[in-house]
Each structure stands twice: as structure tokens, then as C-alpha cells.
Structure 1
Amino acid sequence: MSRTFVPGWLSRFLPAPVAVKWQERARSCVGALLGIAFTGGLMYLLLGPSATVPLLVAPMGASAVLLFAVPASPLAQPWSIIGGNLVSATIGVTCALLIGDPTLAAALAVALSICGMFALRCVHPPSGAVALTAVLGGPVIHALGYRFVLEPIAIQSAALLLAALVYHAATGHRYPHAGRQDRVTASQAADEASRVGFTRADVKAVLGRRDELLDIDPDDLYSLLRETQLQAFSRSFAELRCEDIMSRHVVSVSATTRAGAAWDLFRRNKVKALPVVDASQRLIGIVTRADFVDNKGFGAFAPIAGYFDGWLRGDRLRSADVGSVMTTEVCSVNASEPITELVPMFANFGHHHVPVLDHAGRVVGMITQVDLIAGLYRQTVAPPRRTA
């Protein structure tokens, strides 16, 4: 046996590095704390201190890990926790009632639960513990019979899910993390293949040939592969800076600019977004044509609407301003940063206009998707540099 075999074999047990940011780790911990506390507190309010039903069962702790720490996992979605726990609880109680040997009952309960979860597409790992709890939970659990499915399992699963939905919404995190269900036409698939080199159907076909379940949504995997390809492509343009491709003629407004004046700037300059700056030209927000169209009192009739609104209020100069509709959370880049910083903004977050700032935070340019493509094209066709 080679001397390097044992160290190499043991190295496989080392944990993989965790790429999750510390802010996200803290958010997950606080979410699990609130979720379990809410679930236990709700059970206490519903059943009272003298209830014979457990206020919390152990599998809910494992479910909390999935719902709050890895909410993008297909195993952590709403149907997974509700369907998986209810199916496993029902099977577990049935096995406990029909099979006298607890070891055999426990083994069959877990195996049949996995089978049921696969059939109903609600695989949820903590549900295996739910099945075991129904069999090995002791006299208190056994006395509940099929009531165990409703309380505590159904109530606690629903309470924990409700806490996750509210918490993720309050902290700006997407949940449920369901995959895209829209149908892709043949022309859209051909467009994906020409731009990226592969389609969502290709990703799903490869996953379908594997003999194991991967804990990732196919559309998330497609987005990850697409961004990786864009990142690898843009790496060859690392010397190209944002200031090299930005549009230097920037039309900006202040938060107090009237709606009518801002709308005129949109029309006269044929732009779709205006950065909002303060007196020192520092970025404080951004406003787009869509913001105007979606907001009453803005748009083509804003000057007239604002005038009559001011007239009715006794102030003819009073009208809606940009500050009431602008977006204050703006993705921006520094002028000296490489264009690789633009890839996730355009690829994943749906941004179409990215303000460019100098070292003091002042707006010095604007980059659109057209600017990025034009810059990459110029870099591609530029003649190679001569070396001495």
C-alpha cells in the first residue's frame, strides 16, 4: 500500500470550503431562532401548558436548517416540507400500528417514506426523522395514533413554513425558490444555444441521465453555468476598465427636479434612465422611464397634472418630483474597476443601466448593455499590441 494512500483517503473527509458570506450565515441563524421560537410558541398557545402533544419535535430542527440555511435547495421548498412530513408521519404511524418489532417497523417506515416522497415529488430529509419519531417516539407519541399526523406534525410544519415565508420576505430573500415553469419555444431555445452554447433543455437532459439526485434546481444550475461562461469569457478582457466603455455624457437630475422636467429630459436625450445626484454630484438614486409610466402623475401629462394639483392646493409651483419615485438602492461600479464586475449585474440581476462613479462617489459615466457589447467588440477586433 502506498504511503500516500492513507493520507489521500483521509483527506476526503475534510469539509469543503463554505462560500456563504458571514452576513448570510448570521441571517440564517437568526431566521432559525425566530422560526423555532414561533413554532413552539404557537403550539403552546394552541394546546396550553398541560398538553400531552409535544410542543416541538426534533425533526423540525432539521427542517429549520434547510428552510433558513439553504432555502434555494429543492429539498427546502414548501411542498417538500409539508408533503414530506405528512407522508412520512402517516407511514410511520401505520408501521408502528401494524408491526410489533420496533426495529423492523422503523426500517420499513423510513424506506416507505422515501418511496412515497419520491412518488409525490416532496423529498425532505428531515421527514425520515418524522417517520422514526412515529415509531420510536415512546408511549406519548404512540397514544396519539394518527392524531400525530395533524398535531404536532402538520401544525408545526405549517408554522415553521409560515415563519420562513415571512422572514425571507422581510429580509429581501427569494423564497420559495421555485424553478421557472414557463415553456421555452423553439426560437427561444435556438437563441439560447447561439448565445450561451447550451440550453435549459440540455442541462435537464444531462441531469436526467445521472443516477443520483442533485440538490440543485435545474434553472439555478443553468444560470450558474451561464454566468461561469460569461466570467471565463470576460476574463480575457480584464485589462478593459469601466471607464473605457462608459458613456461620458451623463444626463442627471436632482431629487427635487419636477416630473415634467425629468420627462422632457427622457424625451430630448432619448435615454431610459437618469441618475439622481445631490449638490456635489454624488449618486443618491436612479429613476427610469418605467418608474414614470407606472406612477400616476408622471409621464407625458405630468406637467399638466402637476399644475392643476398645485392650483387646487393653492400652490401653482407645486408638483410631483423625482425624489418621490426614484430607487435609492442603486448598483454602481467604480470607473477603475474591470468590466468583469459588470457581468453579474447584467447577467443575473436584470440591470440595464449602471452608473459609473469616481473615487469620491461622483457620477462620471453610465454603462448600458450596448456599451458593454460595443466595448467587448472593439477589444476583440483591435489590432494586437506590438512589443519592442
Structure 2
Amino acid sequence: MSTRRAVSVRAAIRSLGPASPAGTPWEAVRAGVGALLGMAVVGAVLVCSGVDLTTGLYMIAPFGATTVLVFAAPSSPLAQPWPTVVGSVLSAVVGVAVTLTVSQPLLRVVLAVGLAVTAMIACRAVHPPAGAVALTAALSPDAVHALGFRFALAPVAVGAVLLVLVATVYGRATRRHYPFRQFADEPRPPERLGLTEDELTDILARYRQSLNLGVADLARLIGAAELQAAGHRTDPLDAASVMSRDLITVAPDTTPERLAQLFGEYGFTSLPVIADDGRYVGVVFQIHLITALGGHRTPIGAVDVMDVDLPVAHPDTPVAALLPLLADGGCDAVPVLDGDHIVGIVTQTDLITALARQTLRADEAGPVPGDESPVPSL
């Protein structure tokens, strides 16, 4: 009994620690800079030097909490434009209505926040900082009596809309999806689960996660987990076992004409770009060259059209780690580097070929005695 109790105590202590995975330094800086820009724009528009009860252009504390959500947790359903704007405005209306009709401070506060939460849930617009908007109204009777329901327009609606606009622009600039993805009728290959939007919505509701995760993101997570599991069910292959080694490389100043000639001559869809000292610097994809040549500005060399943000692998990188990268439509090839030098490249064709060989070998060998797990198929 004492051992079981000790285990329970340790589990309880661990539950008091951080619940989310550690964020990367880049994500911390990205969110911090975004919050700085968002508050700067809102402050500039709402004249943060004081409280203007004529125009309603002043800062309120809930904007700080909204900033945390839209910049630090942009994929959260609670941070999306609808709950951010509608939830905030709705709570402001509720807070003003209660403040104008209830004079007793404590009753005014509890009614404002409680009714705001009920209204947000009813309108599918739950936004935690909006509870603080209702509280702000209830604690500021002088401002509410001066502004009336205009409080919901300025500062509340103006500030919420500005934060959403800044978060949208900043998200695109930093390659984060905001607003979050919507469930597509024709999802990308990693998200083709055989589940409908209604079924995914039911899963979220069943596990009470509707406020924590969107349907499209759930599809992405399930697809990524299935790919990762498929990699574990294969033999322990690594990148060196499946990569293409007969590389045709180009220099950064290779002309578009020469690039087109090489694509046509060898039938490749990607060409690694190597600097004069042999360092890998990027990859030119055929589709990117075609797009650039069809644009208004003709590229001068490979450096103008190459992709430098591709994920890279090393010779001992497991194939299981490459599966989710190449199954995503945004990545057609993964360079394999030894230090700064490229030693091969893994394309979608390379990966399919390797998995097909393993499947054929598994079929020929038959099931392993005592192992009833199914063999992965393409």
C-alpha cells in the first residue's frame, strides 16, 4: 500500500509541472516579437497615454491576454478570429448591460463574468480573455456609464480586430497558419484518414477537446502518427540505404537555360546546388524553375530559384523520420548531408521503392511466428 501511495504522490507532484512540451528558442522569439508588434499597433491606435471616455480609445488589460493566445498559441481554437472578436464584443455587451442595471459591486462582477461565459459558449465564441473584458466593464462603472454600449465598439472591438489583423499578417510572414486550417474536402495525402469531418468532430467532442484542437489539426496529427507508426513497423532502414547517390549538381550561378537542359536530359525533378568550396547551399526544383520563368522577373541563376529551407537528413537518419516529411505535399526531396557536403538525396520515389521492396520481402517470408501484426502496405 505504501508503494502504491508513493507512486500516486509522485504522479500528483508531476502533474503540477509543465503540461506542454518545451518550445524551441525560435518559437519563443517568434511569439515574443509578434506580441510586441501587436501591442505596439494596438497602443498606437488606442492612444495608450490615458483613458479617453469620449472616444473610448484606450488600452484595457484583456488585450494582453489576447496577445498571448493569438501569437503564442495561434493554432488553438480559442485564439481564432471568431472567438477573439465575437467573444470579446459579446462579453463587453454583457458586462455593460449588467453594470448599467446592477449597482452592488460583488453581484455585478459575478453576474457579468458568469453570463459572459454562458453567452460565449452558446455562440461558439469561447475566448478566455473575454471573461476579463466583462470583468473590466463590471469594475469600471464610471467608464461604462460614460461610454454605454459604445464600450463594446471602442476599445474592445477595435483592439480585438487589430490584434487579429496583425496576427494574420505576422503568421504568414513567419510561416505559421493563422487563422488555423479548415478541414478540406480533398485533404493532402498525410491527412487522408478515411474519416469525415463529422467523425473527427465527434472524436473531439467525445474526449472534450473541442476547445483545445481544431478538426483539421486533429486530422494532421492522426496522419502523422500513422506515418510514424508505419515507419516503426518497417525494418530499421536509414537514409543511406534508400538515397540516390548519382547526383547531378549545379553551381549557384548556373543559368536557367542550363537548368532546363539538365532537367530534360536526366529526367530529374530536383538539382542540388553546390558552392565553389563543395558546400551544399540549396535545391532547385523543376516546378520552381517553371514558375519563375513564367513570372514577371526572369531569374539570373540557380541561386534565384533554389529552395534553402528544406529539411535535411544525415546518412544514419531513420526512414521513419523521413516518412512524414516526404508524405507532406510541401517537400518533394530531402538532401542527405555529411557535415556541410551533400552525399545523396531521398526523393518520394526513393522512399516508395524502398517500402515496396520491404513489403515484397515480407510477403515472401510470410508472417513471423507469434506475430499477428499486419504487414504495412502501400
1:44: which partner in 2? 47
Q: Counterpart of 2:343 in structure 1: which amino acid?
A: V
Tell me the secondary structure at the aligned position of residue 351 of structure 1.
coil
Q: Counterpart of 1:183 in structure 2: which amino acid?
A: D
Task: Output the TM-score relative to the length of structure 2.
Answer: 0.83
Tell me the secondary structure at the aligned position of residue 334 of structure 2.
strand
Aligned equivalents of 1:144, 1:124: Cα separation in 2: 23
1:316: which partner in 2? none
1:342: which partner in 2? 322
Matches within 5 A, 1:37-76: 37-44=40-47, 51-52=52-53, 53=56, 55-76=58-79
Tell me the secondary structure at the aligned position of residue 265 of structure 2.
helix
Find 1:245's aligned residue among 223, 242, 249.
242
| Residues 77, 214 of structure 2: 8 Å contact kept | yes
After superposing on structure 2, the runs of 4+ consecutive aligned residues of structure 1 that deviate more than 6 Å are: none
Q: Counterpart of 2:63 in structure 1: which amino acid?
A: M
1:199 offset after TM fit, Å? 5.6
Aligned equivalents of 2:225, 2:19: Cα separation in 1: 20
Find 2:301's aligned residue among 300, 308, 321.
321
Aligned equivalents of 2:287, 2:10: Cα separation in 1: 60
1:49 offset after TM fit, Å? 5.4
Tell me the secondary structure at the aligned position of residue 146 of structure 1.
helix
* Cα 1:210/1:237, change in 2 over 3 Å: closer
* Cα 1:11/1:289, change in 2 over 3 Å: closer
Q: Counterpart of 1:227 in structure 2: which amino acid?
A: A
Find 2:131's aligned residue among 115, 128, 133.
128
Gaps of 5+ in 2: 366-378
1:256: which partner in 2? 253
Aligned equivalents of 2:276, 2:107: Cα separation in 1: 76
Deviations 1:18-49 (A, max 9, x none): 3321221232223223322332232118xx75
Deviations 1:33-70 (A, max 9, x none): 3322332232118xx75734473211111111101111
Aligned equivalents of 1:371, 1:211: Cα separation in 2: 41
Count, aligned residues? 356
Aligned equivalents of 2:330, 2:198: Cα separation in 1: 22
Deviates more, 1:108-117 or 1:63-72: 108-117
Tell me the secondary structure at the aligned position of residue 293 of structure 2.
coil
2:368: which partner in 1? none
Deviations 1:258-289 (A, max 9, x none): 22221121112112111112234432121122
Establish whether residue 220 from structure 1 lines up as the match of residue 217 from structure 2: yes
Aligned equivalents of 1:88, 1:381: Cα separation in 2: 61
Matches within 5 A, 1:1-388: 3-4=5-6, 9=12, 11-44=14-47, 51-52=52-53, 53=56, 55-180=58-183, 182-184=184-186, 196=193, 201-210=198-207, 213-237=210-234, 239-296=236-293, 320-348=300-328, 350-357=330-337, 359-382=338-361
1:74 offset after TM fit, Å? 1.0
Aligned equivalents of 2:235, 2:36: Cα separation in 1: 43
Deviates more, 1:204-213 or 1:67-76: 204-213
| Residues 274, 286 of structure 1: 8 Å contact kept | yes
1:379 offset after TM fit, Å? 3.2
1:96 offset after TM fit, Å? 1.4
* Cα 1:293/1:212, change in 2 over 3 Å: closer
* Cα 1:351/1:253, change in 2 over 3 Å: same
* Cα 1:355/1:14, change in 2 over 3 Å: closer
1:111 offset after TM fit, Å? 3.1
1:254 offset after TM fit, Å? 1.7
* Cα 1:348/1:214, change in 2 over 3 Å: farther
Aligned equivalents of 2:110, 2:209: Cα separation in 1: 21
Q: Counterpart of 1:257 in structure 2: which amino acid?
A: T
1:371 offset after TM fit, Å? 1.1
Aligned equivalents of 1:176, 1:338: Cα separation in 2: 33
| Residues 274, 287 of structure 1: 8 Å contact kept | yes
* Cα 1:347/1:142, change in 2 over 3 Å: farther
1:381 offset after TM fit, Å? 4.1
* Cα 1:201/1:146, change in 2 over 3 Å: closer
Deviates more, 1:79-88 or 1:374-383: 374-383
Task: Output the TM-score relative to the length of structure 1.
Answer: 0.81
Aligned equivalents of 2:302, 2:70: Cα separation in 1: 39
1:84 offset after TM fit, Å? 0.9
For the aligned residue pairs, the C-alpha RMSD in angstroms reads 3.0
Q: Sequence identity, in percent?
A: 36
Aligned equivalents of 1:50, 1:226: Cα separation in 2: 50
Aligned equivalents of 2:294, 2:108: Cα separation in 1: 68
Tell me the secondary structure at the aligned position of residue 35 of structure 2.
helix
Tell me the secondary structure at the aligned position of residue 47 of structure 2.
helix
Q: Counterpart of 1:139 in structure 2: which amino acid?
A: D
Q: Counterpart of 2:231 in structure 1: which amino acid?
A: S
Deviations 1:132-179 (A, max 9, x none): 211222423432211211221122222322332333333332222232
Gaps of 5+ in 1: 299-305, 307-318
Tell me the secondary structure at the aligned position of residue 253 of structure 1.
coil
| Residues 32, 65 of structure 1: 8 Å contact kept | yes
Q: Counterpart of 1:51 in structure 2: which amino acid?
A: D
